[in-house]
Structure 1
């Protein structure tokens, strides 16, 4: 018996490769989703790692750093914020 495939539709799943964390520490949305500002996850809603190794949606962190109460500190451990890496990769 032979089977002939007439049509094939591929499906892919992506996810951020974030060790030890599953949700943004600011908005509490899963990293595979997107921040409240964005409509779709992925390159338009990148993640940003701090020198302290905490990870956030870039838009959430930028809003946080613009508030007076942030004092330029990480929202998780209150160390001075320093960018380590912005994730535009899967």
Structure 2
């Protein structure tokens, strides 16, 4: 017996609560902590924002961009990485 599907509808729901995700998207360590390359949290391990609004430890992002084989892209959404302008 063969069945022929005449129509098919699929639905999905996905969300990401950014307020609870206070961790670097690369190393998964808290922003107020330090990345794996640092030994002390604070100013020695600064954060960097992209125009895409994603935030990373600066050292994690530099390592990510240096190891990228197909250009400099945001690790979260794969858009070309552009550092956000500092607030004035």
* Residue matched to 1:53: 53
Question: For 2:81 and 2:60, how far apart are their aligned partners in 1?
Answer: 14
- RMSD over equivalenced CA pairs, Å: 1.7
Distance change in 2, residues 1:23/1:50 (3 Å): same
Runs of 4+ in 1 over 3 A off after TM superposition: none
* Residue matched to 2:37: 37
TM-score for both structures, normalised by structure 1: 0.69
Aligned length, in residue pairs: 68
* Residue matched to 1:75: 75
Question: For 2:70 and 2:50, how far apart are their aligned partners in 1?
Answer: 14
Question: For 1:83 and 1:52, how far apart are their aligned partners in 2?
Answer: 9
Q: Larger strand proportion, structure 1 or 2?
A: 1
Q: Which protein has greater RCO, CA pairs closer than 8 Å, 6+ apart?
A: 1
Higher-Rg structure is 2
Unpaired stretches in structure 2, ≥5 consecutive residues:
1-17
Shift of 1:69: 3.2
TM-score for both structures, normalised by structure 2: 0.71
Question: For 1:44 and 1:68, how far apart are their aligned partners in 2?
Answer: 24
